Chains A and B, each alone.
Chain A
Amino acid sequence: MKTVYLDNAATTKIAPEVLETMMPFLTENYGNPSSFHSFGSSQMEAVEIARGQVARLLGAKSEEIYFTSGGTESDNHALRGAVKMDSSRRGIVISAVEHPAVLDTARSLAKEGYPLGIAEVDTNGELDSDSLQQLVSTETAIVSIMAANNETGVVMPLKESAEIAHRSGALFHTDAVQMVGKEPIDVHSMGIDILSLSAHKLHGPKGVGAIYIKKGIQLPPVLTGGHQEKGFRSGTYNTPGIAGLGKAAELALTHLDDTAVKERALRESFEKKIVDSCPGSFIVSEKAAHRLPGTVTIIFRGIESEAVLTLLDMQGVYASSGSACSTGSKNSSHVLTAMGVDFNLSNSALRFSLSRYTTQEELDHTVKLLESIVERLRRISPYAE
C-alpha cells in the first residue's frame, strides 16, 4: 500500500544526510566529549560544528546555543529559569495557544505562586497584541509567545511581542519548534532573548534540541550536574543527536527559500482542492495574515475527526487531529477553543502538515481519498444536510 505521511508537525523523517552524519557517533566514535583523553575530547569538535550550524540558522552566535533534549526541555528551561532571576520580577505572560510544553509549565509555575497572564488570540488565531500589552508589567519576568502555532500554522508577531516585553524590562522567549527550518528567523533583529527548538521537527533525530540564550543573560540552569554547556545545561553530550541536529539545521538553511515556496504552493493547492471537493469543509485561520508554508487545519462540518483519521489510516494516509476521544471525554483542542471555534466544529478538525519531501502526487491521492471518506461519513451523520 502506498503511504502518505502528512503529520510533519508531529515529527519528520530523518534526512539521509543527517543519518549519515550521525552514524560514526553511534558506532566507532563513542567517546565522551568531556573526557580528558583524545578519544573522547576529539568528539567535541563535532559538537562545536553543530553549534555553529544551529547558530547560522537562527542568526545567532555559536556561544549563544546550548544543546538540550528537545523542545520541552528548552521551554522548561526558559520559563523555570527566568522566574528565578530577579525576585521582584516573578510574572509569566504567554498566549492562549501555546504548546503544552509552555502552557502546562506556566500553569505548574502558577501553582507554585508565580503570577501567570494569558494573552488572547482572535478568531483567526492571531495574537491580540493589546491583550498582551495589558498583561505585561515591570513585575513580568518573561513573555513567551510561540513563533508559529502547531495546529493552525499561524505565525505570531515576534518582533512586536519582543518590543512589548522589553518596554517593561521583561525577557522575551519564543517556542520556535514549528517555525525553525520553515521560515527565516533572525534572533537579533527580531529581539528574541531565548528560543526553543527541536531537531526532530526539521528532519533531525528525536531526543535532541537546543536553546538559544542571548549573550549576557544569566538564565539559571534547570538540570544541574556535570557542568556541561558552561554549566547552563548538565548532562553527557548526546553527540550523535547533536551532530544530527547540526546537519539538519544546515540542510534546513540550504533549503529554506525553496521549501517555503514549494511547500506553500503545494499546501495552497491542497486546500483549494479539498474545499472544492469535500462539502462542508473549510480552512481554519484562512484569513490570518501569515501562516507556515506547510501546516493547515481543516474542519469537515458534520463528521467526526477520529472517524476520518481511522479511514485515512486504513488507506495509508497519516494525519492528525487536535482532539482525542477516549474514556468518555474529548479533550478539544485548546487552540481552536481559544479561537472561539464551536465545540462540535472543533471535533471535526484535522491537521495536515507537509515537509520538503511531500509531493503533489501524494496530496492529490489524499484529496481523492478524503472526497470519498467525507461522502461516506456524511451519509451516516445526523449533522450533514
Chain B
Amino acid sequence: MWQYSDILMDHFMNPRNVGNLDSPDGHSEVGSPQCGDAMFLDIAIDDQEKIADIAFKTFGCAGAIASASALTEMVRGLPIEEALSIKNSQIAKFLGGMPPEKFHCSVMGHQALKAAVEDFRAKCNEITKVLDEQGITAVLVRPGRVHLKSKDDIDAAVKALGDRIQRNISVEAG
C-alpha cells in the first residue's frame, strides 16, 4: 500500500465533480498509454471565460482519481489561462502530499483540461467562421449559444449555423 494522506484518501473515497455535464462547452478524452489510465472531462465556460462547471470520469488508481478530483476543485471558477497554469506540485500540495511515484497521476488531469479547452476553442472558432462568412457580427460565442450584435441577423445566423453545425446553438441578440 502507498502512504496516502488523509486528504488524498478523502478525494479517492469521495471524489468531487464526478460525472458528465449535460451540454459541455468543452469535452476531452485522454489516456496515458504507459500506465493505461484514462480520463474524460467536461467543462462549462461562462461569459468571462471562467470555468463555470466541470465534471470528470477516471480509470485509474487512487492517486489518479484523487488528482482528478482535486484538479476539478482547484480550477472551478478560475479563468481558463489560470486553470491551465496549475502545476502537478500544486495538485500534490492540495492533496496534502503524494508519493513521488504517483506525481505522474496528476499529469493526466492537466492534459484533459488542456484538451477540453482546445475542444472549446475549436467549437467557438467553427461558429465564428460560419458567422463571419455571412458577415454577421457576434459579441459572444460559446459552443451552445451565440449573442449577436444586431437582432436583425438572428434569422440568417440560425439558418447558417443550423445548416453547417450539427449542434443546438441558441441565438440571441444582446
- Give the distance in Å from the alpha carbon of A380 to the alpha carbon of B38 in the complex: 11
Residue in A302, A306, A329, A382 whose beta carbon sits within 8 Å of that of B34 in the complex: A329
Confirm or deny: A326 has a beta carbon within 8 angstroms of a beta carbon on chain B: yes
CB contacts (< 8 Å) of B35 on chain A: these are: 325, 328-330
- Give the distance in Å from the alpha carbon of A347 to the alpha carbon of B60 in the complex: 9
Confirm or deny: A138 has a beta carbon within 8 angstroms of a beta carbon on chain B: no
Are B101 and A327 in touch, CB under 8 angstroms?
Answer: yes
Nearest A residue (CB) for B41: A382
Are A383 and B102 in touch, CB under 8 angstroms?
Answer: no
- Give the residues from 86 to 104 in chain B that come closer than 8 angstroms, CB to CB, to chain A: 100-102, 104
CB contacts (< 8 Å) of A325 on chain B: these are: 35-37, 60-61
- Give the residues from 55 to 84 in chain B that come closer than 8 angstroms, CB to CB, to chain A: 57-62, 64-65
Least Cβ distance of A88 to chain B in Å? 44
Are B1 and A313 in touch, CB under 8 angstroms?
Answer: yes
CB contacts (< 8 Å) of A381 on chain B: these are: 57-59
Are B104 and A383 in touch, CB under 8 angstroms?
Answer: no
CB contacts (< 8 Å) of B36 on chain A: these are: 304, 325, 330, 332, 343-344, 347
Q: How many residues of A contact B (CB 8 A)?
A: 23
Confirm or deny: B119 has a beta carbon within 8 angstroms of a beta carbon on chain A: no
Interface string of B1-21 (1 = CB under 8 A from A): 110000001001001001000
Least Cβ distance of B67 to chain A in Å? 12
Confirm or deny: A254 has a beta carbon within 8 angstroms of a beta carbon on chain B: no
B residues sitting closer than 8 Å to A (CB atoms) are 1-2, 9, 12, 15, 18, 29, 32, 34-40, 57-62, 64-65, 100-102, 104, 107
Given contacts A310-B2, A327-B100, 20 further A-B pairs with CB under 8 A are A302-B59, A303-B59, A304-B59, A304-B61, A307-B62, A310-B1, A313-B1, A314-B9, A325-B60, A325-B61, A326-B101, A327-B101, A329-B34, A329-B35, A332-B36, A344-B36, A344-B59, A347-B36, A380-B18, A383-B38
Q: Which 10 A-B pairs rank lowest in CB-CB distance, beginning with the nearest?
A: A328-B104, A306-B61, A326-B101, A382-B57, A382-B40, A330-B35, A347-B36, A329-B34, A310-B62, A327-B101
Instruction: Identify 19 residue pairs between A and B in the complex whose beta-carbon atoms are under 8 Å apart, listed by A's number.
Output: A303-B59, A304-B37, A306-B62, A307-B64, A307-B65, A310-B2, A310-B12, A325-B61, A328-B32, A328-B34, A328-B104, A343-B36, A344-B36, A347-B36, A379-B18, A380-B15, A381-B58, A382-B38, A383-B59
